[in-house]
Structure 1
Amino acid sequence: MLETNSPCKITLNGQDYVLWQSASGEVSALNNVCPHMQAPLSNGWICEEWNTIICPFHAVEFDGSGRLLRNDEWSRVPLAEPLELIIDGDFIWTYGGFEPRLPIPDLHRKVASEYEFLGVTAQRSIQSDFLSSLMINYDHDHQNGTHREFFKVKSTRSTFLEKDGVYAKVSQVAEKDDYTSEEIEANPMLGAIPEVMNNFLEYVFPSTQFFCLNSPDVKTYQGHILYPETENMTKTFILLYAKFSNSELKSIMQDSLLNAASIVVQQDADCLESLYPRQKAKIHLPNEEIMFYAEELYKNWNHSLVV
Structure 2
Amino acid sequence: MNMLQGSPWLLAHKSMLTVNKPHKVSLYGKDYVLWKDRQENINALENMCPHMGAMLSAGWCEVKSDVTSTVVCPFHALEFDAKGCTILPGSNKQTLPQLAPLELIMQGDFIWSYGGCEPKIPIPNILNEIAASYDLVGHTGDCSVETDLRSMLLNMHDYNHQNGTHREMFKITEVQFDRFIDEGHHSHAYYDMPTAPNSLQEKIKNPALFMMPKVLSAHLENYFPYLVIFHNDLPVGTVAQCHLFVPESEERTRTYVLLFGQPKNPLFKLIGKNFLDVVKVVVEQDAEILGKIYPNAPQKIKLNNEVGMDWVHRNFDSFPTIESSSLSTN
TM-score range (shorter-chain normalised) is over 0.9
Give, in whole Å, the separation in 2 of the partners of 1:219 and 1:96. Answer: 33
8 A Cα contact 1:223 1:239, kept in partner? yes
Report how far residue 197 of structure 1 moved. 2.7
Partner of 1:45: 60
Residues 1:230 and 2:249 aligned together = yes
CA drift at 1:73: 3.8
Q: Aligned equivalents of 1:105 and 1:73: distance in 2?
A: 43
Gap runs ≥5 in structure 2: 1-15, 323-330
Does the CA contact (< 8 Å) of 1:160 and 1:168 recur in 2? no
Amino acid of the structure 1 residue aligned with 2:94: W
Scaled by the length of structure 1, the TM-score of the pair is 0.92
Counterpart pick for 1:260 among 278, 292, 302: 278
For 2:51, the aligned partner's letter is H
Shift of 1:89: 0.7
Asked if 2 retains the 8 angstrom alpha-carbon contact of 1:199 and 1:214, the reply is no
Query: Is residue 165 of structure 1 aligned with residue 184 of structure 2?
Result: yes
Q: Which residue of 2 aligns with 1:151?
A: 170
Partner of 2:118: 99
How much is the aligned-residue C-alpha RMSD, in angstroms? 1.9
1:116 equivalent in structure 2: 135
Q: Kindly indicate whether the alpha-carbon contact (under 8 Å) linking 2:63 and 2:69 is maintained by their aligned counterparts in 1.
A: yes
How many aligned positions are there?
302
SS of 1:282's equivalent in the other structure is coil
Shift of 1:153: 1.3
Write out per-residue CA displacement over residues 19-45 of structure 1, whole angstroms, 9 at most, x where no aligned residue: 001101111100011122222111222
The aligned counterpart of 2:259 is: 240
Task: Tell me which of the two structures has the higher relative contact order, counting C-alpha pairs closer than 8 angstroms and 6 or more residues apart.
Answer: 2
Q: Structure 1: any 5+ residue segments left out of the alignment?
A: none
Q: Which region of structure 1 is more displaced relative to structure 2, 286-295 or 35-44?
A: 35-44
CA contact (8 A) 2:238 2:263 kept: yes
1:51 maps to a residue whose letter is S
3-state secondary structure, aligned to 2:159: coil
TM-score by length of 2: 0.86
Q: 2:309 aligns with which of 287, 291, 304?
A: 291
Alignment equivalent of 2:85, drawn from 64, 67, 70 = 67
Tell me the distance in 2 between the aligned counterparts of 1:298 and 1:72.
Answer: 51
Amino acid at match of 1:84: E
d(CA) in 2 for partners of 1:270, 1:40: 28
Given that 2:26 and 2:32 are in contact with CA atoms closer than 8 Å, whether structure 1 keeps it comes out as yes
* Post-superposition offset of 1:67: 2.1
Find the residue that maps to 2:165 and give its secondary structure.
coil
Alpha carbons of 1:160 and 1:101: their partners in 2 closer, same or farther (altered >3 Å)? farther
Deviation at 1:176, TM superposition (A): 1.5
Determine if contact 1:122/1:261 at 8 Å carries over to the other structure.
yes
Contact in 2 for aligned 1:158/1:172 (Cα 8 Å): yes
Aligned match of 1:183: 202
Is 2:37 the counterpart of 1:22? Answer: yes
1:137 to 121, 144, 156: 156
Question: Could you tell me whether the CA contact under 8 Å between 2:236 and 2:267 is conserved in 1?
Answer: no
Query: In 1, are the aligned partners of 2:120 and 2:320 still within 8 Å (CA)?
Result: no
SS in 2 for 1:228: strand
Return structure 1 stretches of 4+ with deviation > 4 angstroms: none
